[in-house]
Every structure is written in C-alpha cells, then in structure tokens.
Amino acid sequence: MVSLWFVRAGRGGVSVERFLDGGYVEVGFGGKIGASAKGMSRDAIVEHLRKLQPERKDGQILNAASQLYRFNEEIANGDEVVTYDPESRRYLLGTVTSPVEFVPPSDGTEARYRRKMTWTHRVDRDALTVETKNTLGSTLTLFRPGDDAAGELRQRRVPLDAPAQLPSKPAEATGDAAALDQIGEAMEQKSRDFIEDRIARLGPYEMQDLVAGILRAMGYKARVSPPGPDGGHDIFASPDGLGLEEPRIFVEVKHRTGTQIGAPDVRSFLGGRRPGDRCLYVSSGGFTKDAKSEAQRAAVPLTLVDLGQLRELLVDYYDKLDPEAQQLVPLKRLYWPIEPTE
C-alpha cells in the first residue's frame, strides 16, 4: 500500500526550490553519523547521537533519531511525499524513486540523507479544509498525515503545471469557521497546560521570585525574605515597600505540586496577623476544602492562589514584569484569527 509522508523543506520552506529543481527530498538529522546510519536501528541512532551531541536534551535526541529512522527505513520506493511552499501557499506532491543515500557535507552545507523524487502535483492551501491544514501544520520535519488529510490532498491535487485556480469551496462556505474555533480552543487549552507545566518546573526560590515579580507588575514594591526561617511569610509587599502605606501584604508560597495545603497550614500562616494586613497564600498543589473554609473565616482578608490562578496572573501582567521575572517563565504572544463582529 502506498503511504503518504510529509517532509518539511526547512524553516520557512527554505529548501523547497532545491527539492523541486534537484528532484529529491532530504533531511539532516544525524548527519554526523554518516553513511552508517542507513540500516541502523532507532536505538542505535539514539546512542550515536548522544555521543556526538551530548549537549542536546534527551527529548531532542529521541525526536531526531525517530525521524531519521523513518526517513531511512520506513519510506519506500513508490511512496508519496508532500512538502509545503509558504511563499506560493502550495503543497507539492511527488513520488519517491530511490533508496536513501548519504550526501557528505560540502561548500559549507551539512551532511544530509536524500531520496530522489518525481514531483508531479500541487494543492493550493486555500482548497483544503481547516482540519487538514491543522494536521499538516505539525512542527515535525517528517510525519505521516492521517488518512483523512492524505485523502483530501489526493482528491484536491492538480498537475504541477495546471493553471492557477481559486478553490471551489471557500472555507467560510464549508463550515470551516466552526472548525477553526475548535482548533483555537484546543490550542488555548494546550497553552494553559504548557505554561502551568513551565511554572511547575521552577525551584522553590524561583517560585517566590515569580510571585514577587507579579506583585511588582501590579504596582506594589515587593521584597522576598532571605533563605532560611522567613518570620511567618515569604514575601512582603506594600505601595511604598516599607509597610508605612496600606495595604500591607504578607505572602506565603508553597511549591509542592501534587500536595494540597490544609487548614492547619492556613491557620499557622495567619497567626500574628493584625487588622489592616492583607494575606496571600500561593500553593502550586492547590488547597483542601477545609483550607478554603478556613480562609473564608479568617479575621484578616486572605486570598488563596493555586497554579491555575497563578498562570492567569502571570499572563495578565506578563508585559509589565521586569526582565528577571520574565526569564523565569519565558512566553511568546500568539495571534489567532477570529470571526469579525457585526
């Protein structure tokens, strides 16, 4: 059975012209291994890459090894390959016509693994449904699109030299707006999850620095207690930084993912607080039901902040964070299309 593979032509499609003019497709994973990578098992490629690139993380090594193995061993003569040209907004399709070959480095280029191709068809991006475009948007260099995406590519393809034409069904007429919303919601959820994952990886003192940074972004002057006994709080904040102006905010930070804070911890934190004080308890592991009840009954105002709420505060005030706090959880803004309002 003929398989269809997606092979990305470098960042921004930089290699598309070479692919087309040269009649081939190639990847560069593990080029330092050399010709011996052909016929290697995935595990053997992993071990070689670890020795050759010890500075790379395990996840990066495993990803590179897996994709190189698939390119060398799983793609077969007669299989179809699709790549994307962002400049023309076209997917280009062709057929593999040779076994893999190793291309040594030359003229400043890195070593590559290459398969000869006959490029035959194209598909305009605007002719595809949102679901298929989302599938083909994977960041992997090499992967197999699902059956639905592969079927639509084959259905919509036209010869490379066919005249340009507009898609027969604009996205808005095929219900793709709803699909776009669904994908956007999924991406938002992934974004929330990944930001929380990054916060959870911070050390205890880094977590205190992050909370203090958020308070500063909110307009307060915040001071983190030095390591050791904290005198009943981890962070103190106030408008003037000295506590002469209200509110005087006392902050406790517990960074124990998977461990909820209970009522006794809340009572201990509140001990010694006096009228006019404001309290903030941050727990990456969340709070028990009793702890929440204890906070509601507290004689001084107490706000409980779990990991999800901390993530919301971080995102809301990120642009106002000082550079040191931003570096604890580096974020990048992402824009997503929405339907215009009436």
The pLDDT assigned to 236 comes to: 92
Tokens of 157: 């393809």
The pLDDT score that the predictor gives to residue 111 is 84
Domain CATH for 226: 3.40.1350.10
Give the Å distances, CA to CA, from 18 to 15, 25, 324.
Answer: 5, 9, 43
Please indicate, yes or no, if residue 157 is contained in any of the structural domains: yes
| 184 inside domain | no
Is residue 21 situated within a structural domain? yes
The answer to whether the beta carbons of residues 256 and 285 sit under 8 Å apart is yes
DSSP state of 287: B
Same domain? 30 vs 141: yes
- Same domain (yes/no): 66, 162: yes
8/157 same-domain check: yes
Which segments of 75-169 are extended strands (E)? 80-85, 90-96, 101-103, 112-124, 142-143, 158-159
pLDDT of residue 337: 78
Structure confidence at residue 206 (pLDDT): 94
Q: How many domains does the chain divide into?
A: 2
What is the three-class DSSP state of 126?
helix
Asked, for residue 242, whether it belongs to a domain, the answer is yes
User: Tokens 């990803």, residue?
Assistant: 63
- Are residue 151 and residue 86 in the same domain, yes or no? yes
Residues 238 and 108 in one domain: no
What per-residue confidence (pLDDT) applies to 284? 92
Cα–Cα dist 124/146, whole Å: 19
Is 14 within the bounds of a domain?
Answer: yes
HSE value, Cβ hemisphere, 13 Å, CA-based, for 158: 13
* 235 lies in the same domain as 89: no
- 158 and 50 in a common domain: yes
Q: What is the pLDDT along the chain (342 residues), one digit of tens a residue?
A: 789 999 999 888 889 999 999 999 999 875 678 888 888 899 999 998 888 888 888 888 898 899 999 999 999 999 999 999 988 889 999 999 999 999 888 766 788 899 999 999 999 988 888 889 888 888 789 999 999 999 999 999 999 988 866 555 544 445 566 667 777 777 788 888 899 999 999 999 999 999 999 999 999 999 998 876 555 688 999 888 676 677 889 999 999 887 889 999 999 998 878 887 899 999 999 999 999 999 999 888 999 999 999 999 999 999 999 999 999 999 998 887 776 665
Which residue among 133, 156, 174 closes a domain? Answer: 174
Judge contact between 10 and 84, C-beta under 8 A: no
Please indicate, yes or no, if residue 295 is contained in any of the structural domains. Answer: yes
For residues 265 and 156, state if they share a domain: no
What value does the CA radius of gyration of the chain take, rounded to a whole number of Å? 28
Query: What is the domain-level CATH number for residue 17?
Result: 3.10.590.10
Q: Are residues 303 and 244 part of one domain?
A: yes
Q: Would residue 333 count as lying in a domain?
A: no
**Cα 11 from Cα 28, distance rounded (Å):** 12
* Domain span at 86: 4-174
Q: Helix 307-317 crosses helix 204-217 at what angle (to 10 degrees)?
A: 50
Name residue 249's beta-bridge partners: 237, 278
Q: What is the pLDDT of residue 171?
A: 45
Output the six-digit token pair for 274: 């006096």
Q: What's residue 173's pLDDT? A: 45
Tell me if 251 sits within 8 A of 233, measured CB to CB.
yes
DSSP result, 216-231: HHTT-EEEEPPSS--T
pTM for this one?
0.66
Looking at the structure, tell me whether residues 128 and 43 fall in a common domain.
yes
Q: Is residue 319 part of a domain?
A: yes
Cα–Cα distance, 140 to 11 (Å, whole number): 11
